[in-house]
Structure 1
Amino acid sequence: MTARRPDEPHRSTTTLELFFDLCFVVAVAQAAGNLHHAVSEGHVGMAAGHYAMVFFAIWWAWMNFTWFASAYDTDDDVYRITTLVEISGALILAAGVPRAFTEEDFTTITFGYVVMRLAAVAHWIRAAAGDPAHRAAASRYAVGVVLVQVGWLVRLALPDGWGVVSFVVLVIAELLVPALAERPGMTPWHPRHIVERYGLFTLIVLGEVVLATSLAVQTGVDAGDTHLWSVAASGAIIVYALWWLYFDRPVEMSTQLRRSLFWGYGHYLIFSSVAAVGAGLAVEVDHERGDGHISGVTAGYAVAVPVAVYLFTLWALHVRRQQRSRLAAVFPATAVLVLLAPLGPVPVPLVAVLLFLLVAVTVLARRVNATADPTAATVSTGSDDAAS
């Protein structure tokens, strides 16, 4: 297994990577669906905590495969088989999501997660053997991942009171592995390829939101609740706006380790908040139909909170450095207004209106900037100043 060039021209996502993403969306759908049902039943705090834990397992395994494939995708038989084992682990994880939410039993999820991560170790061992220039980094990855997986298995035997503390400790350990492994010399991941992969997964998660919202509204309409069309229309505008804002400008990415990790890690909030928007819209449908056991304010916040998290994170990762002007402050300001929307009579339509206005402002700002500086560069991937 040899390294690929980080400046390789015309590098694009492979069919195996797309298949990997689509299979992982099964786990995303399970997490969002169980979040929806738990919140509708009034278990808001428990649902949020379990969702954050489950989504971390999904996102972290996806992210590590994505960055490894960017550097070492050889597309040989061994690589394909090992990747299919990772996908199998994701399916095992997805099967354990309902029990994690209803019984707080993370055994199946842990087993699926460990399968995914140990398959990744096989990748790193091959990379260490075939790429002497980056052998130190690959070896550190392999050893670090194995040690943390032992920790996850040990966690299953700990008393219930240690669950949250042990989870936080192991998450920190997982996040430290790439930061420490890349220190001897970064693996040759491809900046433009990474940006494309993250964008594609964002699209796939947005598609899952559209499906979840459509099914929820369909259930209500079939039962005779035609007034739910306003929720459907608002949900559509929200999803369209989330897509527009993420892909409004070409994404810039730094090759500095600290900034690239910040960008990569920050997408946990992007992906998880987008999926949670779908769950929130389904909660709103339940509330409108009288099937939920929560107040209208709580149902509104089921949509408003993930939308606000998305806007804050998008501002921190993309907008803050790409738009060095006062207009960049519109994103966090809109996020604050979104958080106030559930206090009004029609929270979801109000969130949709706020996002529509934010899109309008960004479009106007882009046109003004283009008129003022038509020769400005739009993409940068290697300079110290480029980071998002």
Structure 2
Amino acid sequence: MAEAARRVLYRRMTSRSPDEPHRTATPLELFFDLCFVVAVAQAAASLHHAVTEGHTGQGVLGFLMVFFAIWWAWVNFSWFSSAYDTDDVPFRLTTMVQIAGALILAAGVPRAFDHGDFRLITLGYVVMRLAMVTQWLRVAAQDPAHRGTALRFAGGIALVQAGWVLRLLLPAPWDFRMFFVLVVCELLVPVWAERKAPTRWHPHHIAERYSLFTLIVLGESVLSATLAVEAAFGTGHAASLVWLAAAGLVIVFSMWWLYFERSAHDLLVSLRAGIRWGYGHYFILAAAAAVGAGLAAMADFHSHVSHVSARAAAYSVAVPVAVYLSSLFLLQIRPHYRGVVVYAFPAAIVLVLLAPLGPAPVQVIALLIAALTTVVVLARHPRPAPASAPS
């Protein structure tokens, strides 16, 4: 009885099988995702306000920087848990420390956007990443086959975190330049560490984890756009806001449909493919979050509380939609489809970027992406040929 209780409280952290049947996301992983969306929502809301106030360039740059911290911490946890999720007490407690770090980061987002103060964001990020170091040190102690890989991960992550802290001491513009240097270092740590002895992640599990996070981010976009429309509805522009809300729903529904039309697990056939696919999702997820901010900015424009032109507001929707379609096409559509779909995606992307030059740009974007979704569905499920008449 005591031995059984001990196994529940503590398990040896050894690599899980990549062929494990029926591997799905755990309740802890789902809780982790939901808590991270708080930070995503803060970043999207700050982008929305920056666009509305006419600080689009500054807002986009700040959003991309903050979103990298959120996304990269999520990515590292997801791939680690795919290989080493023991679901014991130490694993759960360490994961909750990472969640606390994400909430600290979320609390620092407004100060980063409004005052360029990244201290609280950096603190939250370092908390998340140092929790990951403790996980890798546990692997190094308990999984001899991957000890070298685990030590590379732990040492590389810890070293880069020291760089993030030191960056706070640098004067402008060196602190800004150092950000991109450290981003490159963060991205190179897994590439370098995995060369020692690749970890054994589960393709189906990884594909599901990314799908779930994409789903949650798309839901956050719907929420942010809905709240903006609700806040603007009492301004006397109900008709235009109804059309905007309808078009926004078509856009987000189509984004969902295109992403989930085909599972991506069969694309994750190697470490190289996994890194390319996993890293490329930064653009899919960031664009999905930014679409909600863009729709909220369009609601502000229709309510005459925005400080930007109609074209600038429309591009706050068109650009993230185009980035989303481009990234999805390269990562998941092109490998699965041939023929008309391969040509329909680039054409739709160009037309989406041209839509703000004409009237009703968001409605036009909605029609374009809905038409593209129809093309993809028909290519996946072609109509059966009519049966020949009996002779």
TM-score, scaled relative to structure 2: 0.93
Q: What residue identity is the alignment partner of 2:242?
A: W
Alignment-derived partner of residue 275 in structure 1? 289
SS of 1:160's equivalent in the other structure is coil
SS of 2:173's equivalent in the other structure is helix
Equivalent of 2:261, from 244, 248, 264?
248
Equivalent of 2:311, from 297, 300, 306?
297
Equivalent of 2:64, from 37, 52, 65?
52
What's the CA shift string for 1:27-61, capped at 9, x where partnerless?
00000000000010000110011000000000000
Counterparts of 2:343 and 2:86, CA distance in 1? 43
Instruction: Tell me by how many angstroms 1:223 deviates.
Output: 3.3
Equivalent of 1:215, from 227, 245, 249?
227
Counterparts of 2:135 and 2:343, CA distance in 1? 42
CA contact 1:195–1:253 (8 Å) conserved in 2: no
Counterparts of 2:89 and 2:235, CA distance in 1? 50
Equivalent of 1:350, from 356, 360, 364?
364
Alignment-derived partner of residue 110 in structure 2? 98
Alignment-derived partner of residue 193 in structure 2? 181
Instruction: Tell me by how many angstroms 1:225 deviates.
Output: 2.4
What's the CA shift string for 1:144-168, capped at 9, x where partnerless?
0000000000000001111221011
Q: What residue identity is the alignment partner of 1:245?
A: L
Identity %: 59
Alignment-derived partner of residue 374 in structure 2? 360
Counterparts of 1:237 and 1:254, CA distance in 2? 30
Q: Which structure 1 residue ranges, 4+ long, deviate > 4 Å from structure 2? A: none
For structure 1, the residue ranges without an aligned partner over 5 or more in a row are: 373-388
Counterparts of 1:45 and 1:359, CA distance in 2? 31
Alignment-derived partner of residue 384 in structure 1? none
Equivalent of 2:246, from 233, 239, 248?
233
Instruction: Tell me by how many angstroms 1:2 deviates.
Output: 1.4
Q: What residue identity is the alignment partner of 1:130?
A: Q
Alignment-derived partner of residue 133 in structure 1? 145
What's the CA shift string for 1:254-278, capped at 9, x where partnerless?
2322211010000000110000000
Equivalent of 1:12, from 24, 27, 51?
24
Does the alignment pair 1:28 with 2:40? yes
Alignment-derived partner of residue 9 in structure 2? none
Alignment-derived partner of residue 78 in structure 1? 90
SS of 1:208's equivalent in the other structure is helix
For structure 2, the residue ranges without an aligned partner over 5 or more in a row are: 1-12, 386-391
CA contact 2:130–2:158 (8 Å) conserved in 1: yes
TM-score, scaled relative to structure 1: 0.94
Does the alignment pair 1:331 with 2:306? no
CA contact 2:139–2:150 (8 Å) conserved in 1: yes
CA contact 2:207–2:263 (8 Å) conserved in 1: no
Counterparts of 1:68 and 1:345, CA distance in 2? 48
CA contact 1:89–1:116 (8 Å) conserved in 2: yes
Instruction: Tell me by how many angstroms 1:306 deviates.
Output: 0.2
Equivalent of 1:37, from 13, 38, 49?
49
Q: What residue identity is the alignment partner of 1:240?
A: F
Question: 1:160–1:268: structure 2 CA closer, same or farther, 3 Å change rule?
Answer: same
Q: What residue identity is the alignment partner of 1:234?
A: A
Counterparts of 2:281 and 2:50, CA distance in 1? 24
Instruction: Tell me by how many angstroms 1:371 deviates.
Output: 5.4
Counterparts of 2:245 and 2:339, CA distance in 1? 35
Counterparts of 2:200 and 2:90, CA distance in 1? 20
CA contact 2:235–2:303 (8 Å) conserved in 1: no
Alignment-derived partner of residue 381 in structure 1? none
Instruction: Tell me by how many angstroms 1:253 deviates.
Output: 2.3
Alignment-derived partner of residue 123 in structure 1? 135
Does the alignment pair 1:165 with 2:191? no
CA contact 2:319–2:353 (8 Å) conserved in 1: yes
Counterparts of 1:36 and 1:327, CA distance in 2? 32
Q: What residue identity is the alignment partner of 1:171?
A: V
CA contact 2:217–2:285 (8 Å) conserved in 1: yes
Counterparts of 2:199 and 2:124, CA distance in 1? 26
Counterparts of 1:325 and 1:62, CA distance in 2? 35
Instruction: Tell me by how many angstroms 1:325 deviates.
Output: 2.9
SS of 2:90's equivalent in the other structure is helix
Bigger radius of gyration, 1 or 2?
Answer: 2
